[in-house]
């Protein structure tokens, strides 16, 4: 229990616990316990035990003395707590209360309880102003005191604190806010926002698919069936396999873009640069540059497709402003289609609008022809006939208004889809027989080998628009047989 101290003239003794946290007054168990103790005697006994006499201890002694209402001390407890130390206050660590979306990697969409592991994202990014969570601040620890007045140290000296790195701010109410766009990195209680996401290996099961708002650099390969979505740019050190790529800015691939039986696809808001492109679907908002070869791929851009030292074999290429390639087509006759100028999708929409305009105009003309005799003899018409004629005239006017709206939409479509310059196909070495080249709604099929450098474009020949091949060395112009495209066929 602890050590004890007593006074011979007083039937009492003191006991102190081993840790010094508590002290008791104990009545000696004897037949003749002696006279009732005085306040001074008890205090002297406590001082002899080196117990610190604090106001609290003094008050407890006074209460104890009052219990001795008789000399025998009947009713006085045999054990009385007279002093207590102050226990140390242990420090409490800070707590990071993250919003649910940042607590763990999210799962991709599930179907009938099956998780799409290819869509799982292990990396989180935030936009400036995003609320990430809040910080619950802990407390600092402090030492205690035993009944002798000695210090009792806390088991730990300091608390673990949340440490905010680059791009994070704690608001006055404790909310944790991102100050910049970037990748959220959480390491225990350490947080920061990195403005650029770097994947040192591949995009695979370790990293998961990416859905981020920062520039991304992948040192390795984007593996098949994974997805990369970013509002920034994407740089890939090796290759893109049959993956889903959605990039708002530019795409740079040190290796190539590889598809597989239609799997995967690449959509880029800016420009694209890659070494090769095989069996892939690629759509870009800016220029596309392929260094070596484009094989059996579907490529679309409203800008320019450039492969000045490469080949295009198979598939379809549409580049509104122009195409430059070394070799177009193959000696084996693989179907290869390229197109420049207004795209077939826009041509189809324009044709649909024209047909709708034509239908409205004919209907309006028919209505006016029908009511012309009635309007010429308006005074002779019954009220019911006048009402019917007025309704028909209103319907004709509505059709006129619809025609005006359709014509404005057609004009807008033409302005948005029209090339900024003269569309062209530049072939530097050779254009193989069987290649089909389209300029808007007109297409030419190459019947014989064309040696380069040759520039293929539309020109006026004897007051008719023709597709011609212009030899860049000799200046000779060859008219290529061409025909109108049925816009109801699938677009290249």
If one counts every other C-beta atom within 10 angstroms of the C-beta of residue 168, the result is: 20
Provide the 8-state DSSP code for 100. G
The per-residue pLDDT for 74 is 63
Whether residue 325 contacts residue 311, with contact meaning beta carbons closer than 8 Å, is answered with yes
Model pLDDT for residues 323-339, shown as the tens digit of each residue:
999 999 999 888 999 99
The residues spanned by each domain of the chain are 2-84, 95-194, 199-322, 345-417
87-101, 204-218, 370-384, 478-492: which has the highest mean pLDDT? 204-218
113 vs 68: which has the higher pLDDT? 68
What local confidence, expressed as pLDDT, does residue 70 receive?
Answer: 55
Average pLDDT over residues 94-99: 82
What is the pLDDT at residue 227?
93
Average pLDDT (331-356) is 88
- Name the token pair of 239: 């290759």
Residue range 41-52: mean pLDDT, rounded? 88
Number of other residues whose CB lies within 10 A of the CB of residue 398: 12
Q: What's residue 31's pLDDT?
A: 41
Q: How confident is the model at residue 351 (pLDDT cuts 50, 70, 90)?
A: confident
pLDDT surpasses 60 at 348: yes
Could you tell me the two tokens for 389?
């004629």
Identify the pLDDT of residue 110.
43
pLDDT at residue 138 is higher than 90: no
What average pLDDT does the structure give for the chain?
85
The residue-averaged pLDDT of 391-399 equals 87
Residue 259 backbone phi and psi in degrees, to 5? -105, -175
398 alpha-carbon distance from chain centroid: 46
For residue 340, pLDDT over 90 is answered with yes
Largest CA distance in the chain: 143
Name the most confidently modeled range: 115-129, 188-202, 222-236, 345-359. 222-236
């Amino acid at each position: 229990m602890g050590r004890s101290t007593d006074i011979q003239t007083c039937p009492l003794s003191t006991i102190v616990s081993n840790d010094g946290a508590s002290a008791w007054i104990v009545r000696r168990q004897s037949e003749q316990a002696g006279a009732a103790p005085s306040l001074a005697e008890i205090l002297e006994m406590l001082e002899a035990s080196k117990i610190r006499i604090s106001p609290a201890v003094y008050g407890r002694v006074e209460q104890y003395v009052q219990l001795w209402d008789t000399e025998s001390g009947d009713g006085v407890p045999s054990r009385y707590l007279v002093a207590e130390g102050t226990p140390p206050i242990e420090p409490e660590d800070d707590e990071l209360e993250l919003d649910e979306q940042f607590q763990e990697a999210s799962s991709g969409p599930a179907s009938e309880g099956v998780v799409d592991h290819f869509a799982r994202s292990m990396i989180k990014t935030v936009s400036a102003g995003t609320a990430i969570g809040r910080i619950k601040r802990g407390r600092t620890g402090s030492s205690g005191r035993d009944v002798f007045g000695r210090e009792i140290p806390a088991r730990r000296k300091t608390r673990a604190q949340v440490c905010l790195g680059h791009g994070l701010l704690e608001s006055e109410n404790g909310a944790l806010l991102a100050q910049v766009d970037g990748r959220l990195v959480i390491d225990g209680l350490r947080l920061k926002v990195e403005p650029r996401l770097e994947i040192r290996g591949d995009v695979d099961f370790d990293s998961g698919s990416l859905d981020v708002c920062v520039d991304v650099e992948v040192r390795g390969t984007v593996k098949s069936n994974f997805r990369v979505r970013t509002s920034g740019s994407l740089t890939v050190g090796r290759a893109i396999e049959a993956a889903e790529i959605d990039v708002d800015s530019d795409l740079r691939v040190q290796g190539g873009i590889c598809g597989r039986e239609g799997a995967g696809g690449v959509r880029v808001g800016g420009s694209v640069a890659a070494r090769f492109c095989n069996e892939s679907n690629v759509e870009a908002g800016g220029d596309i540059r392929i260094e070596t070869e484009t094989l059996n791929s579907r490529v679309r851009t409203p800008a320019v497709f450039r492969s000045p030292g490469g080949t295009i074999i198979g598939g379809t290429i549409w580049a509104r402003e122009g195409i430059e390639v070394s070799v177009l087509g193959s000696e084996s006759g693989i179907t290869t289609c390229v197109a420049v100028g207004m795209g077939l999708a826009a041509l189809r929409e324009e044709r649909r609008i024209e047909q709708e305009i034509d239908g409205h105009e004919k209907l309006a003309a028919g209505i006016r022809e029908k009511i012309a005799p009635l309007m010429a003899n308006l005074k002779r018409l019954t009220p019911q006939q006048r009402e019917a004629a007025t309704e028909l005239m209103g319907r004709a006017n509505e059709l006129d208004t619809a025609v005006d709206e359709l014509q404005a939409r057609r004009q807008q479509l033409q302005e948005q889809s029209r090339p900024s310059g003269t569309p062209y196909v530049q072939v530097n070495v050779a254009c193989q027989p069987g290649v089909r080249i389209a300029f808007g709604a007109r297409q030419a099929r190459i019947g014989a080998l064309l040696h380069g450098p040759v520039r293929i474009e539309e020109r006026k020949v004897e007051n008719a628009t023709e597709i011609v091949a212009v030899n860049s060395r000799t200046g000779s112009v060859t008219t290529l047989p061409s025909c109108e495209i049925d816009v109801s066929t699938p677009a290249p």
